[in-house]
Structure 1
Amino acid sequence: MLSSFSELVAAKSSDLSRTEHRVARFFAENRHQVLVQSALELAQSIGTSDATVIRTARSLGFDGLDGLRKAVAAELEVGPTPARRMSKTLDESSGSLQQVLETTFAAHAEAAAKLRDSVLLEDFQAIVHMLATALEVAVFGLGPSSSIAEYFCIQLRRLGFASRALTKSGFLLADDLLPLKSGSVVVIMAYGRVYPELSVLLAHAKGVGAQTILVTDSLQDALKDRVARIVTIPRGRPDAFSTHSATVAFLETLLVGLGTVAPQETVESLNQLNRLRADLAGQAMELAIPKVSSGHDEDNNH
């Protein structure tokens, strides 16, 4: 039995034409893209026709692109364990720290490049305005994502936006979910599977009228009907050590976006932070705060 999509591509390689082999290799190396893009969009990314994309999916043994997507989604949902991911990454480095440096930097660069392709301007604008007008922003993340959630909330509060992190699991999460209400916006970082905490959060948010934004690399299809916006962000190669630089980059881009749509409020909040720090330290402390030009002020008065 073939244990991965990459192994399937390798096993079928001899039955594929040269063009189909190139398309199949793209499928194997860009599984998250396969999940969210149409046949025409994939064809444009690969440099071929949408008919070739569909024909390649059938040559791999699927009934079409939808069948291929289901197989990819199932593999990403189960996925290798963290130990297997790390073991594969270490095997590829061959014990060389130089190789670690090169391959890890390359993985971050690739993730950033894919991020730019996967985040649509329409979604980015909508999410920034959702956050800017929210009564509060709640950020959900468990495991390693909990630290990212805390970081994003600290930065939001510095800019003057009410925010809190939802990072508890089990019964303890119930107390954090209770204050959610209409006007709340929940940013959800979730991967792999729809675990109980995520399912309860989504149901409660819908029940109270809170809006939800999903940041994921694998749950697009499973949750597309349960959230307002979805942003697909890769965490490196699916079978290698997970990296979160692209997620942090996206969240920091949202922070800059919020500063852009509410420059006076965010600068005043940072000035207040400086005043509080100075009071605590007993001397002037300065953060790098951009000046708002008079031209920008005039634009905001329209």
Structure 2
Amino acid sequence: MSPAEQRVVRFFQGNREQTLIESALSLAEKVGTSDATVIRAVKSLGFSGMEEMRRSLADEMRSNPSPFNRLERTLDDVGDDLISALDTTIDIHQKALERLRRDITPENFEDAVQYIIAAKRVYIFGIGPSSAMANYFSIQLKRFGIEATSVTQTGILLADQLLHLRQGDLMMIFAYGRIYPELATILDQSAKRGVISLLFSDTLGTKLRDQVDLTLSVQRGRTDMLSMHTTTLGLIEALLVGVAKSQPEKAMASLKALNKLRTNLVGKRMDLPVSTNI
């Protein structure tokens, strides 16, 4: 390994968060070398390229810090100035959204939309904070005329929610960090019942790529800081727009039916916005 490559590796070691989110060119500028040298340093470490190294680094970092440690690091970064909490958080979200744009290819996005509109029924699995994302996604899909159900139970209660999985259904999975029993059961039952599976994750894509049909890489902010969900929500809403764009008549008809039901319930018009320009 050349001296320049050694400098790059030392930078990786001391700046893991930047290594995760920045391009080879950006890292090269910080080290004072070329992007080609950065790529050579990555390959000298035994990785095929930047993405493989980032996945490995993210796995390592995600497996180490506890929620306490992540919050402690977040507060350390914020410092004593309260307004810094706003600035720091927005900065993290901006960088994560920029990473999302790079990570989600047009082909993957189109495949995800097609899986949703082609499915007989859509199941959305998420537990803990991800259960709120699953519930929101389910509600919005139903408003667009998609038969959708959130799967948010744990333990033996999960069995009831998986009982009627059938071939032709789609299982969308929000999972991060580790493969826990509920996730393993979801994957197993989806495979056995011929259910298409779509994984949203920051670190499990490599481990589960042979067990799911499609993985969408979604970072939850900085891996050593408090987990944040702006990118997940952003991707969900992009998919919702994609679904509506793909079948606008169905989406608008469903929203009109919802408006009519609301009017019947309250005795006056309670319109959701319905655009002819979806």
TM range (shorter): 0.7 to 0.9
Separation in 1, partners of 2:55, 2:101: 25
- Within the candidate set 259, 262, 269, 1:277 is matched to 262
- Within the candidate set 254, 273, 296, 2:239 is matched to 254
Moved >6 Å (runs of 4+): 23-26
The residue number in structure 1 matching 2:41 is 55
Shift of 1:31: 2.9
The residue number in structure 1 matching 2:82 is 97
The residue number in structure 1 matching 2:179 is 194
Kept after mapping to 2: 8 A contact 1:54/1:64: no
Which sections of structure 1, spanning at least 5 residues, go unmatched? 1-13, 34-41, 294-302
TM-score under structure 1 normalisation?
Answer: 0.81
The residue number in structure 1 matching 2:158 is 173
Deviations 1:47-104 (A, max 9, x none): 645564232553xxx4445895675254145131111111111112123211101101
Q: In percent, how many aligned pairs have the same letter?
A: 33
| Alpha-carbon distance change, 64 to 269 in structure 1, aligned in 2, over 3 angstroms | closer
Query: Is the partner of 1:213 in helix, strand or coil?
Result: strand
Kept after mapping to 1: 8 A contact 2:27/2:38: no
Structure 1 residue 75 and structure 2 residue 60: aligned?
A: yes
| Alpha-carbon distance change, 138 to 50 in structure 1, aligned in 2, over 3 angstroms | farther
The residue number in structure 2 matching 1:224 is 209
Separation in 2, partners of 1:43, 1:91: 28
The residue number in structure 1 matching 2:167 is 182
TM-score under structure 2 normalisation?
Answer: 0.88
Separation in 1, partners of 2:160, 2:232: 27
Which sections of structure 2, spanning at least 5 residues, go unmatched? 29-33
Shift of 1:203: 0.8
Kept after mapping to 2: 8 A contact 1:24/1:56: no
Structure 1 residue 88 and structure 2 residue 77: aligned?
A: no
Deviations 1:207-230 (A, max 9, x none): 000000000000011101100110
Separation in 1, partners of 2:139, 2:56: 39
How many residues were matched structurally?
A: 269
The residue number in structure 2 matching 1:29 is 18
Identify which range, 144-153 or 48-57, moves more after superposition.
Answer: 48-57
